[in-house]
């Protein structure tokens, strides 16, 4: 909608999507596994990633995602190729069109090469996210230079918002947004240094939560402004903010994430009362869940049904915002909000409406939130 003299902002539709995770190779497989209460998080004793056993959601050792006979791609890139390929199979998007943009979301990319390759200029070039994005763009035949989004744990949600904004400008008609991360010793040791990992399956928002689990996975979502997709779910709006508080500790008040939520609502022309459920970041760390509950309360969403999928997938870093948005789109379509695995008793000061079992809903829209190191926050709204 626009007033006289204003430029109309085009609607942005969800065309297709795909998830590749330890729970399945397609979105359908993943949603089916979640409906039956499955979790991919389990204990792993693998000194290649940790000197001590850890609980995480990892692909089976040796599992491949794409037959790379030329050994051209890393494991990270093969995972992305599998996810993008699955999404493209479910669409009629022309990747060779100059109106189609490719966006890559990741926090660590090929960082594991630091553990296996010699420190040399060639490694510096190969390890860059731009190198991975270029290889994947060439593999599928994208014409435009890819866009890279790497902003800690909001990367996936920020990539969706970036895609939405690029399409709204009219510069592009289609956006293929891919996100992935694979777990390495470098990543695990970082979270261990913060004492942020749980010694069991994590429990978002629960009284006994004590940390997060890491996870591997990839998600791809394809967006378009083409009106032939007019009956599809839309990306209605989104926003980002920053705490400017601490390099690793979140805001204690939640006001900054609440600002992103309220800005996303404004961008989507929605009120808090229009939101039917929340896909929370819900890492199960003591401080992040407390902050997020504060933010949700400040935004007036404390009674809205909420879930976190971290107990099913672990924290998939740059893929998290994509995977969790895609699952929530399925929830919107099927009218089923999934439970928060591991949740039993409220453990945050401002109690929020955490789903401990699946609930049927007649839903029109949901909000996906994310927060990350450096104080970054993001919120995106999907709806009919």
Q: Please determine, for residue 227, whether its predicted confidence score (pLDDT) is greater than 50.
A: yes
> pTM to 2 decimals?
0.97
**Token representation of residue 223:** 């967006």
4 pLDDT band, cuts 50/70/90, is low
Tell me what the mean pLDDT of segment 329-343 comes to: 98
In this prediction, residue 1 carries a pLDDT of 45
Q: If one looks up domain 13-227 in CATH, what number appears? A: 3.40.47.10
Calpha distance 345→29 (Å, rounded): 29
223 pLDDT band, cuts 50/70/90, is very high
Q: Which helix (H) or strand (E) holds 134?
A: helix 129-140
Instruction: Residue 261: name the closest of 226, 304, 230, 203 by CA.
Output: 304
Q: Which helix (H) or strand (E) holds 247?
A: none
Instruction: Residue 85: name the closest of 198, 178, 216 by CA.
Output: 178
Angle between helices 75-89 and 129-140 in degrees, nearest 10: 40
Q: Which fold has domain 232-383?
A: Peroxisomal Thiolase; Chain A, domain 1 (3.40.47)
Query: Residues 191-210: pLDDT tens digits?
Result: 999 899 999 999 999 999 99
In this prediction, residue 244 carries a pLDDT of 87
In this prediction, residue 248 carries a pLDDT of 80
Q: How is the chain split into domains, by residue range?
A: 13-227, 232-383
| Percent of the chain whose pLDDT exceeds 70 | 98
Residues in the chain: 384
Calpha distance 219→221 (Å, rounded): 7
Query: Residues 234-248: pLDDT tens digits?
Result: 999 999 999 988 888
Calculate the average pLDDT of the chain.
96
Tell me what the mean pLDDT of segment 25-29 comes to: 98
Calpha distance 55→213 (Å, rounded): 6
User: CA 149 from chain center: how many Å?
Assistant: 12
Looking up tokens 């970054």 gives 376
| Percent of the chain whose pLDDT exceeds 90 | 93
Query: Residues 42-99: pLDDT tens digits?
Result: 999 999 999 999 999 999 988 889 998 889 999 999 999 999 999 999 899 999 999 9
Tell me what the mean pLDDT of segment 307-332 comes to: 98
In this prediction, residue 5 carries a pLDDT of 61
Fold match, 13-227 / 232-383: yes
Convert 176-205 to b/e letters by CB count within 10 Å (16 or more is b): bbbbbbbbbbebbebbeeeebbbeebbbbb
**Token representation of residue 354:** 């955490």
């Amino acid at each position: 909608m626009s007033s006289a003299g204003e430029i109309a902002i085009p609607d942005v539709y969800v065309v297709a999507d795909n998830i590749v995770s330890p729970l399945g190779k397609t979105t359908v497989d993943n949603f089916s596994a979640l409906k039956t209460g499955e979790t991919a998080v389990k204990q792993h004793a693998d000194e290649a990633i940790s000197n001590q056993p850890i609980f995480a959601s990892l692909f089976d050792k040796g599992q491949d995602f794409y037959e790379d006979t030329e050994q051209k791609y890393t494991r990270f890139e093969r995972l992305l190729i599998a996810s993008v390929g699955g999404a493209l199979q479910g669409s009629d998007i022309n990747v060779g069109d100059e109106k189609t943009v490719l966006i890559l979301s990741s926090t660590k990319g090929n960082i594991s090469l630091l553990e296996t390759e010699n420190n040399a200029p060639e490694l510096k070039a190969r390890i860059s996210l731009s190198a991975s994005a270029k290889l994947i763009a060439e593999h599928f035949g994208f014409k435009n230079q890819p866009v890279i989004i790497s902003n800690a744990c909001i990367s996936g949600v920020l990539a969706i918002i970036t895609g939405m904004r690029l399409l709204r400008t009219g510069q592009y008609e289609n956006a293929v947004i891919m996100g992935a991360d694979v777990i390495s010793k470098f990543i695990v040791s970082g979270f261990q240094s913060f004492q942020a990992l749980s010694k069991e399956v994590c429990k978002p928002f629960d009284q006994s939560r004590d940390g997060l689990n890491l996870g591997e996975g990839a998600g791809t979502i394809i967006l378009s402004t083409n009106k032939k997709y007019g009956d599809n779910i839309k990306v209605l709006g989104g926003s980002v903010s920053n705490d400017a508080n601490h390099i690793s500790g979140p805001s204690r008040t939640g006001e900054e994430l609440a600002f992103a939520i309220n800005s996303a609502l404004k961008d989507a022309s929605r009120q808090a009362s229009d939101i039917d459920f929340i896909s929370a970041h819900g890492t199960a760390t003591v401080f992040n869940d407390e902050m997020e509950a504060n933010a949700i309360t400040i935004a007036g969403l404390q009674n809205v049904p909420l879930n976190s999928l971290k107990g099913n997938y672990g924290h998939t870093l740059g893929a998290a915002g994509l995977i969790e948005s895609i699952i929530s789109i399925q929830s919107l379509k099927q009218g089923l909000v999934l439970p928060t695995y591991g949740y039993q008793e409220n453990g945050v000061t401002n109690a929020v409406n955490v789903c401990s079992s699946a609930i049927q809903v007649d839903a029109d829209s949901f909000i996906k939130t994310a927060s990350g190191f450096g104080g970054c926050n993001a919120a995106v709204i999907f709806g009919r």
